[in-house]
Amino acid sequence: MRIRHIAGSDEEVAACPIVVDAEGGERDWDKIFPDNKPLRLEIGVGKGQFIIEMAKRHPEADFVGIDLFTDVLCRSVRKWMRDENAPDNMRLVIWDAALVGELFKPGSIDKIYLNFPDPWPKPRHQKRRLTSPTFLHTFASVLKPQGQLEFKTDNQELFTYSLEQFETASAFRIDAVTRDLHADSILSEGNVQTEYEQKFSEQGVPICKLVATRI
């Protein structure tokens, strides 16, 4: 993914009231969300369409979205700031998925959404895929027992690779799989599209989805 630099993005992100400065030490989620609702995490929020819409549709939960890059998170910040009905049950953090174990207590997350992660197609980059065994181990550690991980991608090769990883990961049980989400009446119920999902499905590319439970 090519990232366009946004002038002033550091200041814009820092000034946004829903951005948590986790690097600076603010990581007490019980204090940030004192209502003690189930906590859901989106990894790689991109431009923010998914998390903002999910937070609106699910006031019974609290949402945290992370992204590695300030220039990307800035797009989510702008979308939230522009929205007259911006939900307050969500926070955004500049954070690396590899380090979610330092952002959340073990077993504290109700659900993880992994939407259209970079496919890293070259075999020598396999370890960078967010569904590689090390990442799945990290994600499992912050999920509650019976917590779920939902993964969507347009990339068939990444999906095949990821299915194999979930099948062999002792921490997960696969609950549902489709290689054409939008044609699946059950799995597509309540589906919220991300920016990537919208772009690919408009081009006729089928969307793959996997749902797994932390066991």
Ligand X SMILES: C[S@@+](CC[C@H](N)C(=O)[O-])C[C@H]1O[C@@H](n2cnc3c(N)ncnc32)[C@H](O)[C@@H]1O
Where along the sequence are the contacts to ligand X (CB under 6 A)? 1, 43-44, 46, 66-69, 72, 96-98, 115-118, 194-197
Whether 18 and 26 have beta carbons less than 8 Å apart is answered as no
Our CB check for ligand X shows the closer of 68 and 176 to be 68
Minimal distance, residue 161 CB to ligand X, in Å: 16
Minimal distance, residue 201 CB to ligand X, in Å: 11
Amino acid at 79: K
From CA 141, how far away is CA 207, in angstroms rounded? 27
| Residue 82 token pair | 């522009």
Our CB check for ligand X shows the closer of 29 and 139 to be 139
Whether 150 and 111 have beta carbons less than 8 Å apart is answered as yes
Q: What are phi and psi of 109, to 5 degrees?
A: -105, 135
SS (HEC) of 103-168: HCCCCCEEEEEEECCCCCCCHHHHHHCCCCHHHHHHHHHHEEEEEEEEEEECCHHHHHHHHHHHHH
Our CB check for ligand X shows the closer of 34 and 46 to be 46
Burial of residue 8 (number of CB atoms within 10 Å: 0-12, 13-18, 19+): exposed
Catalytic residue among 71, 110, 118, 184: 118
Our CB check for ligand X shows the closer of 148 and 194 to be 194
Quick check: is 110 catalytic? no
Minimal distance, residue 16 CB to ligand X, in Å: 17
Minimal distance, residue 178 CB to ligand X, in Å: 17
Give me the active site residues, please: 118
